Structure 1
Amino acid sequence: MNKTTALYCRISREDEANDFSSSIKTQKEFLRHYANRNSYTELRNYVDDGYSGTNFDRPGFQKLIEDIEKGIVSTIITKDLSRLGRNYLSTGYYIEHYFPSKNVRFIAINDNVDTSQKINDFTPFKNIINEWYARDIGQKIRSAYRTKAENGKFTGAVAPYGYTKDPIDKNHLIIDSEQASIIQLIFKMYSKRSTIYGISQQLKEDQVLTPRADTYKKTSKYKLDNAQKYPYSWSPQTILSILCNEVYIGNIVCNKHQTKSFKDKTLCSIPEKDWIITKNVHEAIIDAKLFYQVQEYLQSKPKRRVIRHKHLFKSKIRCSDCGGMMIYAVDKRRVNSSAYVCSTYRVHGTERCTSHFMRYRDAVESVRTIFVKLHKQINLDKENVIDKLYSYIVPQKKDFGSSEVLKDDCETRLATISSLLKTLYEDFALKRIDQETFNELLNQFRQEKNDITEKLNVHTETTLYMETMKQNIINMVEEIGLQKSINKLTYRMAEHLIEKVTIASRGNGIYNKDRVDLYLKNIGIIDLAAIGE
């Protein structure tokens, strides 16, 4: 099978603002022209639009790595080294170690880098310069934002609920009268001792759009499925954040969070003493006296002590009805009263799910029973269990024979097209056909090659998936089979074998013990009926 030539394009928002010649469209045209001029075939674009080069956790690049691991990429072409990355250690690793180890050729056109030849001694220094550039840009942007914050300028992407950005000055906030009335209502209700839950229910009853739903309605940006499904469902956390936000008394609070570095975009909380607070920079919605009264009342409320309980299915158990995470709850008034309850119902009530629970001991026993039955079948006939698991987890198996025939036919046709293309070029060079006929046939052959290559890529991905899944099933069966008995479900088994557990309700307030589904890591749901239990 002919391997793919990867045309990799990347641009960050900063690059796009400073250099039009680096736009994704321009890069694609530049790379395709170079590839065609140098007779590269099986071209495929990998694009990261709006991603920094300081880290390699980018969807386009990760897809490229996946295809390299599958063995379907032979060459990578970029406009220059900085498109690959601006972290000189990581960029150097890929160029000097990873790509050569996978027999992948890397070409950076403008920097004259080609790993099929001797690496240019200046290449590492170019990578360092690219990283310096990224560091410098990051420092300048951070400095610019800090200067704006110290001058009382709003720097957020979206104005806080109750305000909108001034059309004349996007760093200045002006009141949105419709939203401001909702802010005033929230403060008024809470000052009169309404609960946060009570406020959320009142807003829902009045059919007031949530901040996210309202933003999407006005701008068609920041789409969120739940905001569309439940546009009036105000969460307690949203109301609490409004009650605590100084923006409503005319202040701007900045520098509450910061990324770790220009390479690591993880947000870290900044100590309150280092916040940048600029007072009275825009019109207030809430009177300062009322705001601080609300803060005093919030602080006076007793803080609930959070107790971290240890349980087998932490972050692994979900409600089948709504997909929400199950919360481990303990009733101190009763012995052995721990249970899993639906978090969606706890937060949003019957609008999104129903009131139901499952005793912790019942959940553990239901999952243990599945393991016991699976363990029994493995001991009776391990190979049979592997085959049956594979046959229902990987349904493509039954069609794989015809798929192999398709692969052979595709590769034969590709060889034929290559021969036809050579003849076509010869006929054109010897003036046996005119320019129009040549272009028409050339485009037809190229389109057919691309279509066939895509089919072969799907075949390769399917083959890899099937082989990987088979090995995962074998590994899982071997590990379960090594257990002498499963009298007790251990934390090690839960951690190493279980991906998640889902349970469905009977509709009468409790969960159905007969509808507990076990998903094993790297495999999926276990259907005992499919393996003969």
Structure 2
Amino acid sequence: MKRRNGEHIGSFAAYGYIKDPNDKNALVVDEEAAAVVRDIFNKFLDGMSKNAIVHYLNDHGILSPAAYKRERLGLKYQNPSVDPAKPSLWCAQSITTILKNRMYCGDMVQGRYRMKSYKVHVQEVVPEDEWYIVENTHEAIIDRETFEKVQRLLLRDTRTGPQQKKLYLFSGFLKCADCGKAMTRSKVGNVVYYYCRTYKDQSKTACTKHTIKHDRLEAAVLYAIQQQVYLAVDYTKTIERINRAPLVKSQSKKLMDAIEQKERELAKITRYKQAIYQDWKDGEISHSDYRHMKEDYERQAEALDEVIGKLRAEQAELENGIDTENPFLTAFRQYQNIDKLTRDILIELVDHIKIHEGGYISIVFRFADELRRIQEFIEVNTHNEAV
């Protein structure tokens, strides 16, 4: 019951928090550890690899979560997956655990592990859909937008070389348009290229090079983002004009009248179908005539259903409306003066980039569904204005 209410029932608080001295089921921020958590998130967003973060923390003598709980907080804590005889150092897994932990954006997350065997004290991971999650139960260390941005980054293939401390600009964003594998980076002299990983590392017959120069790719992606920014600014002006126009009520009435008319036609078709069935049962028409007439009425009914569906969608779009704070508009509008690409911009705006043979690219932007809604909203309203 306490878990469902968002009360903390664990023996130890997550690194970055301590139990509230006045309420053992509540958490408060431990500023010393919380500063390290923020630093980890910031360095990861800045392009530092997890291994590089590990080296940074260990080299600067920052205690690992287990060591911190024992030495700084005086708790009798032992990580069950770590050998107590070995030094307690930061590792890549501890960085991943922190970066994935929703506790840091203020949500209580419990029940992630359960005891597989009480005899040997073996834990197993519980599927995420069985966790107990209650939002906004305690003070956040990481804002939700930053946390979500990091989750998107973690889903990407961002493997780095042993000496590589920072991720490259396009790390985790590039895919071969044909085989779907990640592209790999290569430097020849001072020129950086990207190749299909299947072609380069596995088989030259399984795929082709799909090679592209970094400079050309960067320029193309920057230009494409600038075009999306232009769209966002232009659509914002159009939406402002539409929302100011005194036509919405009259447009809504026209759509409602059209829907009612089509529904009357559909009801008439339904009555005709019932009538010809009775005619066939009474022997007034043959079964063959009945079948052909029935199929014809069903085609008409299907067409009317489709028209009614489209009209209802238009009406819903008109009633719901779109304001200028739409996620697509706000995300792209903020980069009106963009003249250089950064990883932060890519993380916010781009889902992935496909590299085609011959050096052509196709970019899948984030907020594609929102953009589609905007375009449909503008089309419906400008069409109705013209009518």
TM-score by length of 1: 0.28
Q: With a CA cutoff of 8 Å and minimum separation of 6, indicate the structure with the bigger relative contact order.
A: 2
**Normalised TM-score (structure 2):** 0.37
